[in-house]
Chains A and B, each alone.
Chain A
Amino acid sequence: MAAPALLLVALFTLYPVGRALYQSTRIESPIFPSRFVGLQNYRDVLGGIYFQGAAGTTLWFAAVTVPLLVILGVLVALLLNESFVGNAILRVGMLLPWALPATVAGLVWKWIFLDSWGALNAGLYTAGLIDNYIAWLTTPDLARTAVIVVFIWTQLPLTAIFLLAALQAIPGELYDAAAVDGAGVFRRFWNITLPGIRPMLVIVTLYAVLMAFTNFDIVYSLTQGGPGTATTMLTYFTWVESFKKLDFGAGSALAVVIALASLAVILVLVRVIPKGALVEERA
């Protein structure tokens, strides 16, 4: 019964991966004749300062956004687990940023951050908070911050929803018992909430890592990797090599490197995670 799905996935996974590996060892472009160059592409790509810059930016981006997403996700989930007026609107409405195509999310925020007539500048100016428009998207650090904000905007909803579901599965009696024993808010969080949501925390963290490493659409529509190369991450760099410079060999080599890197990160995370946190194998 698994065969149809497996076949479909295999055709579209094994062949492309094989093809990418093959291309990565050759000069491949529409202009030059194709020929085998061994590991030349890998040497060129890995040795270049642009790759190192993009790799650094990607690692930095993941290091900032993954903890931020998980921590904010827990806070938002805790908040939505309380009863308050408007809770239902917030829960359903927060699906919108996630459901919006990421390219469109980038455009929406471009309209907010735009240097010369963006909504944020207009708002701050009208409120009298700034005298000159701030170049949000053309100052390296601000542009990086902008990409992070949009990334959080699109990814936080799903993170929070999954954590909320985990919170709701914790039996309420545990909290009542702890309250009787006189445990404070933080004790209860540490001893009941955290262990209760741990499996979901793992899933959410893995998902966040994956998204941080493979995210492309937001950078494409918000900053085009700029200013300069300030927001050029590995996926965008690969796009430039493959489709702007039409160097498919180098692009494929890069792609292989990214895939191996995300695999390594996931494997490390899976090892670090305590046994039994992911209840998977029962058979």
Chain B
Amino acid sequence: MSKRSPLRRVIIYGGALLLAFFWFAPFVLVFIGSVLPEVNLLSFPPTWFADPPNLQTYEYIFTGKVPESYEQRGALRSMISNEVRDVPRAVLNSIVVATAVMVINVIFGSLAAYAYARIRFPGRTAAFNFVLMSRLIPSVAIAVPYYLIVQAFGLINTYWALIAIYSVLTLPFTTLVLTLYFRGLPEEIDEAARVEGASPWRILRDITIPLALPSIIGAGLFSFMLAYSEFLFALFITTTSDRRTLPVILGALSANTDVTWNMLMASIAVGTIPTLLLAIPVWRFMVRGLTSGAVRG
């Protein structure tokens, strides 16, 4: 890199700071909100830090030990909802469902993408476009029909229903990305293998998949993230708290007037931890794997 003018450095660092503030400040505020007593949060004029912060909200979520401030009856609040104790279970539900969706995407997405990229068959373009266009339909539009399908199969309130729906929602994108990537792989290698007598399966297993692995992992993680986040379908497919996913539980908590703001913030923080843990692998695989195919065209 050549020497930069001071003005350019100011712009770069200024922009970076601004961006960091915009992206991270909300997370910091959630954490602050989760460790302060609610009396302080609701005070006007605001005296957030009048009392020392504590981790009692987290303690309650994981162990059920009621925070001290709730013991003082007749104070601002003495209500507490044990609904927040469903949060760890909800995180687990979301992870189970999202992992299954990821596995399905990796397997069926690679197969479909390989077919689109390498094998000629009648109606290929039409089928490809159909898969892509199917994502144009807003979820709200198909919510009722989906509910009826799930009901017909007797799968209301099961992981299976969520896994099936999310797989359908994510497969088009996975297929698109992997198709673009597979097309970018040199076809000569395939040719050579075919001359040697390798079957399409063999070529896929021993050549294409190893070459495209970062991209496949990336697309898989992407589908994991989407499944982990989905709200609308999970809202009416799940009916009991032992099957509800994180977005549904948090949505319910925010509408529950017995849940204090610091409890809600602590719940959000707990629900964000898996996301935090995944950020680095997602960056490594997804960003490189997903984008390289599209960039090269």
Contacts and interface: CB of A to CB of B under 8 A. Distances in A.
What interface size band does chain B fall in?
35 or more
B213 interface: no
Nearest to A119: B29
Interface stretch (B57-65, B77-85, B111-119): B111-119
Contacts of B181: none
B255 to A, nearest CB: 9
Nearest to B221: A99
Interface string A16-32: 11011001000000000
Contact of B140 (A162, A210, A216): A216
Given A96-B276, A107-B268, A216-B140, A2 B116 contact: yes
Q: Is the interface of B mostly helix, strand, loop or mixed?
A: helix
B3 interface: no
B189 interface: no
Given A90-B19, A94-B23, A95-B283, A17 B137 contact: yes
Q: Is the interface of A mostly helix, strand, loop or mixed?
A: helix
A108 B26 contact: yes
B279 A1 contact: no
A214 B139 contact: yes
B276 A262 contact: no
Interface stretch (A38-46, A60-68, A186-194, A275-283): A275-283
A272 B165 CA distance: 33
B297 A96 contact: no
Given A12-B149, A90-B20, A101-B229, A1 B137 contact: no
Interface stretch (A49-57, A135-143, A253-261): A253-261
Interface residues of A, number: 93
Interface of B: 1, 12-13, 15-16, 19-20, 22-24, 26-27, 29-30, 33, 41-46, 48, 108-109, 111-112, 114-116, 119-121, 124-125, 127, 130-131, 133-146, 148-149, 164-165, 167-168, 171-172, 175, 183, 200, 204, 225, 228-232, 236, 246-247, 250-251, 254, 261, 264-265, 268, 271-272, 275-276, 278-280, 282-283, 287-288, 291-292, 294-297
The 8 closest A-B pairs by CB, nearest first: A255-B141, A279-B297, A165-B291, A16-B145, A101-B229, A19-B145, A5-B112, A2-B115
